[in-house]
Amino acid sequence: MNLYEQTKQFLISEDFRFQERTSDNNKFIVSKVEGENVTINCFIHFFENKNILICFSELPFRIQKEKRTEIISFLSSLNNELMITNFLISEMNGTIRLKSVLYQDSSISTETFRKFFFTNFSTLDLYVPKIMAKLFSCSKDLFLPEHNKLNLN
């Protein structure tokens, strides 16, 4: 079973709501995840010939042009804290994404899928208060949830 089919099978088994899309003959999956701090837009891309799965989780807001340089610098410093994911920001439209990459040579276990997706979603959700605090130059405590929990449905 190819990577795309394995991913679909996992998402279906976890009752994950998603849509399949195609652009320029490339398949990808789109979904939304309810975080504790924000609803995350999720894009899953496949590179079958290289056995690579890439997950981009995107914040539902854009950074204003005049704040982008400051936020780019801030996200770069956050990337130093991260080991398996990294923040990206579009200089053109101010979209913030968190990128995770999974390389797998064989069939992917359910546990590996869970860890891969949960790490991506929970990391982005966890950093939202810091990003908002930097964006609005205020205390991050204003945005901290009582506990960190994700609903993957």
For residue 136, give both structure tokens.
């609005």
- Looking up tokens 């959700």, which residue turns up? 125
Give SS3 for 107.
coil
Which of 5, 8, 6, 28 shows the shortest CA–CA distance to 16? Answer: 8
Q: What is the CATH number of domain 3-143?
A: 3.30.1460.70
Single pTM value for the model: 0.82
The predicted-structure confidence for 128-151, as pLDDT tens digits, reads as follows: 999 998 888 744 444 344 334 444
The structural domains of the chain, with segments of one domain joined by +, span 3-143
The answer, yes or no, to whether residue 20 has pLDDT greater than 80, is yes
Which of 81, 83, 59 shows the shortest CA–CA distance to 132? Answer: 59
Residues 68-87, mean pLDDT to the nearest whole number: 90
The predicted-structure confidence for 41-59, as pLDDT tens digits, reads as follows: 999 999 877 889 999 999 9
Sheet containing 85-89, strands listed edge to edge, beginning at the edge strand earlier in sequence: 19-23, 26-34, 39-47, 52-62, 95-103, 85-89
